[in-house]
Chain A
Amino acid sequence: MTPMLALLQQAVTDTTGAYGHFPGVGGRGAVWVAAEVHLMFAAFVLGVPMFAVITELIGIVSKDEKYDKLSHEFTRLLVFAYSATALWGAMLLFALTTLYPKFWAHMTKIFSVSMWIYVSLFFVESFTLYLYYYGWERWQFGRGKWFHWGLGVLLNVWGTTVMLIANGWLTYMMSPPTGATAEGLPKGVTMWNAIANATWIPINIHRLIANAVFGGAIVAAYAAYRFLAAKTPEERAHYDWMGYVGNFIAISTFIVLPFAGYWLGREIYQYNQQMGITMMGGFMSWLWIVQAVLIGVLFLCANYYLWLGMARIPGAERFVPYTKWMLLLLIVCWIAWSTPHTMIATRDELVSMGGAHHPFLNVLGVMSAKNTAVNLMILTTFLSFLIYRRANKESVVPWARTGTLIQGAMFVIAAAVVLFYGVYGYFVEAIVRIGFSVYQVGAVLMCILGVSIIDAFIGRGARSRGEIRWGQMPERSQYALFVLAVTFTWLMGLMGFARSGIRQHWHVWEVMRDTSPDAFTPALGYAANMISLCVLIFLSLVAFIFWLGGLAERASHAVAPEPHGVAIPPGIAVARPGAAPVTGD
């Protein structure tokens, strides 16, 4: 009782002077926009270096210059994006100190030392980035190139560490260590305990993967834009290829993201059941239907892009008839996934259904059906990738047929496991059913892994059925890439709202109460408006940065027209794009 009483007293006495006022959107709105746009840029400057370092490595290993050029092109964008990140970070900091002084005082009291480390790391990171970018020509050959690549790795290390520290602050707000009060941490609980709290590691993993996804999606959107604006066939070919690589990275990392999210949700549940129920079953439950719509769009766009891309691959014709059945499966799964359990219905409809649950579609509303649908969608998308990779190859290994049969069997087994546990889940108690999702996920991951390994061997020394006609892409495929990027950005905003919103009226969960007039958690509509605002601000700034990048490029071309990179060197590396970024062959 005593802590509750103390909290109540705090609520009464502390309201005055604890909150600042911001015109228009209000204090919370201002912090919301500053934090979200800062976070989007931060994801950009963390995701794109990952991308740059990987492509640079591929360039070094394969001695293919176009990878190096790609990497360089993105580092140039990074320099601009980096200052935008810092700018929005400063805005967020000032917004917090002026609008939430009391809360911010609490945070600085606990995290002061980590804040100093954070700033110094930021400093070091900037210098590494400048060295990395401006030293590109200086260290282009031999051992120097490896040194340069090391700089890129270092850049990622600094960036990730900075993110880990900031994650410590925000996860502290969700899951503070036991004993923390509004006055600070109790004796024996150190700052490290506050940083390494219950949800810290899951958030770190989740964000790291999501950053890679985001980096890939933004790269793809950039390539799409340059593709549409391209004037020569060579340019088109280059950006077509870049869009493909970006999309590949985005989707292949995206496939593991739901599992990371699942783990995070699990930890939240374990930390506090009430927070978990608010998230999944209570106030926030409708958010997941919106999320299902967004992710459905993501899966369909990614597949659509691949199917359209098959038109430029000689030999892909033999797979085209199957795409419509894959589409059908994706659509059916999407329908199952987005079916709400509790339906929006008028009174008459409620009466005829005998409640808010539909007697028949009810079956699709529960978690068993949704897990099954998502896993099948992941499998289908993976299959799309596989046939895309196979399209222009003719295997020369004698066991190719057997290998393909084994791969097919793997798909069938994985799908059967997913379906079996999906159906069996209806007949067991909740706690057992939850365990089933692990088997489903395990089957899908095993299938992806096994099939990829076999495929790598089947593809060894394969004959080409003809060169990929890079650049021969219908324009609508590029718009699909835009939709992908916008959707990823919006999804990030939505999930940010979910993560932050489940704290409800607490600044720091059950430690520091929000006593401002904005303490309520807004409805989805208001949240969607804020998310859209943030997304549009971010996208327009990114468009500006892209434009600046184009200017800088033109300037450098004017000084010294570079011959490299425009033409796609024909050869096996181009003909085997699917293998490129991950396996490195």
Chain B
Amino acid sequence: MWKTNLKVLAIALLVVGFYTTVAHIIPQLQSEVPEALALGSGVTPEALVAAGEKIYNGAGGCTACHGLGTRAPNLITDYKGQGAVGARCGTRKPGMACKAYLYESLTQPQAYIVQGFDPIMPDMRKQLSDDQIWAAVAFLESQGGEVDVTGEDIAKSAPAKGAAPAPTGPAMTATLDPVALYSEKGCIGCHQMDGKGGAVGPSWDHIGSRRSAASIRRKIIDPKSDTTKGFEKFAGMMPATFGQMLTAAQLEALVTFLANKK
């Protein structure tokens, strides 16, 4: 009798154990409560730092380069005796406070490259929202420094988007009409065409006979590459951001249009 009882018990335990094991073999996935990341103006520094830490280790993908190997400086550990990023960020770029420097390195990473590293960091606005970038800044500041990111920074950066180099928001239309681009992208402010526009830069009339298509393209993307004779005092005036403001098709449309203006 006891033999039967034990056998039945063994069968029951075996079956239950088997199902439990099957459920354990599958990689475990827990469904978290979605966080209401509403970092309004009343947000506390603690909340920002906590959110930033998650971004740093998660959605931001920062740890892929920072903190591993030699691709990028270590941020949350000591770097060449200068302390963690929060301690050294205020002195990196002369005249730039910690907060501004960190925000710049996240949004315009090529603006300042730490010596000894390659310019490989992507513009984080492609992956993160403004709230998230500010949260990441707050987290980095907290690593050895004082957190001074506030709700106002987040609120301020939202309208500042339009002025930022990466064209975001409705400023970017899809038109391929070069004349429309002429006024829309602000070329009209400096270059004259058909009697319209300012006289800061060379006129666009007959530009095709002076420059080749390749030269025009290079000039738009990298304005510092050369300066037209007679405009030396205006050298460096042309914004270097048109390469980002135009889509490839728009750029080509504009270049072809200008090269044909003989």
Q: Do chains A and B touch in the complex (CB under 8 A)?
A: yes
Interface presence of B34 (CB below 8 A): yes
**B33 and A519 contact, CB distance less than 8 A:** yes
Residues of A contacting B7 in the complex (Cβ-Cβ under 8 angstroms):
228, 479
Interface presence of A482 (CB below 8 A): yes
Within the assembled complex, what's the spacing in Å between the Cα atoms of A344 and B32? 21
**B19 and A482 contact, CB distance less than 8 A:** no
Interface presence of A232 (CB below 8 A): no
Interface presence of B228 (CB below 8 A): no
The segment from A42-50, A457-465, A527-535 that touches chain B is A527-535
Within the assembled complex, what's the spacing in Å between the Cα atoms of A532 and B29? 19
The segment from B20-28, B73-81, B243-251 that touches chain A is B20-28
Interface string of A511-551 (1 = CB under 8 A from B): 00010000111111111110110011001000000000000
A245 to chain B, nearest CB (A): 20
**A525 and B33 contact, CB distance less than 8 A:** no
**A283 and B23 contact, CB distance less than 8 A:** no
Tell me whether A290 and B4 are in contact in the complex, defined as CB-CB below 8 angstroms, given that A482-B11, A490-B16 are known contacts: no
> Which A482-521 residues sit within 8 Å CB-CB of chain B?
482-483, 486-487, 490, 501, 504-505, 514, 519-521
Interface presence of A229 (CB below 8 A): yes
Interface presence of B225 (CB below 8 A): no
**A524 and B31 contact, CB distance less than 8 A:** no
Residues of B contacting A363 in the complex (Cβ-Cβ under 8 angstroms):
none
Interface size bracket, A side: 35 or more
Residues of A contacting B12 in the complex (Cβ-Cβ under 8 angstroms):
482, 486, 536, 539
Nearest A residue (CB) for B34? A505
> In the complex, which of the residues B8, B13, B15, B23 contacts A225, with contact meaning CB atoms closer than 8 Å?
B8
Within the assembled complex, what's the spacing in Å between the Cα atoms of A505 and B33? 6
A203 to chain B, nearest CB (A): 22
Nearest B residue (CB) for A227? B4
Interface presence of B214 (CB below 8 A): no
Tell me whether A523 and B28 are in contact in the complex, defined as CB-CB below 8 angstroms, given that A505-B33, A539-B12 are known contacts: yes
> In the complex, which of the residues A8, A290, A527 contacts B36, with contact meaning CB atoms closer than 8 Å?
A8
> In the complex, which of the residues B1, B4, B17, B24 contacts A525, with contact meaning CB atoms closer than 8 Å?
B24
Within the assembled complex, what's the spacing in Å between the Cα atoms of A8 and B34? 12
**A523 and B33 contact, CB distance less than 8 A:** no
**B16 and A536 contact, CB distance less than 8 A:** yes
> Which B163-219 residues sit within 8 Å CB-CB of chain A?
none
Interface presence of B30 (CB below 8 A): yes
**A525 and B15 contact, CB distance less than 8 A:** no
Nearest B residue (CB) for A491? B19
Nearest B residue (CB) for A516? B33
Within the assembled complex, what's the spacing in Å between the Cα atoms of A289 and B29? 14
**A532 and B20 contact, CB distance less than 8 A:** yes
Interface presence of A93 (CB below 8 A): no
Interface presence of A406 (CB below 8 A): no
**A286 and B11 contact, CB distance less than 8 A:** no
**A286 and B26 contact, CB distance less than 8 A:** yes
Interface string of B30-67 (1 = CB under 8 A from A): 11111010100000000000000000000000000000
Most buried by A among B11, B23, B34, B38: B23
Within the assembled complex, what's the spacing in Å between the Cα atoms of A529 and B36? 31
Within the assembled complex, what's the spacing in Å between the Cα atoms of A271 and B1? 53
Residues of B contacting A278 in the complex (Cβ-Cβ under 8 angstroms):
31
**A528 and B24 contact, CB distance less than 8 A:** yes
Interface presence of A456 (CB below 8 A): no
Residues of A contacting B19 in the complex (Cβ-Cβ under 8 angstroms):
290, 293-294, 487, 490, 528, 531-532
> In the complex, which of the residues A294, A483, A504 contacts B31, with contact meaning CB atoms closer than 8 Å?
A504
B54 to chain A, nearest CB (A): 15
Within the assembled complex, what's the spacing in Å between the Cα atoms of A242 and B38? 63
> In the complex, which of the residues A229, A479, A514, A524 contacts B23, with contact meaning CB atoms closer than 8 Å?
A524
Nearest B residue (CB) for A4? B36
A513 to chain B, nearest CB (A): 9
**A229 and B1 contact, CB distance less than 8 A:** yes
Within the assembled complex, what's the spacing in Å between the Cα atoms of A8 and B36? 8
Residues of B contacting A524 in the complex (Cβ-Cβ under 8 angstroms):
23-24, 26, 28-29
**A520 and B16 contact, CB distance less than 8 A:** no
Interface string of A256-290 (1 = CB under 8 A from B): 00000000000000000000001000010010011
Interface residues, chain A, CB within 8 Å of chain B?
Answer: 8, 11, 225, 228-229, 278, 283, 286, 289-290, 293-294, 344, 479, 482-483, 486-487, 490, 501, 504-505, 514, 519-529, 531-532, 535-536, 539
The 9 closest A-B pairs by CB, nearest first: A528-B23, A523-B28, A521-B31, A505-B33, A525-B24, A283-B31, A486-B15, A528-B20, A523-B30
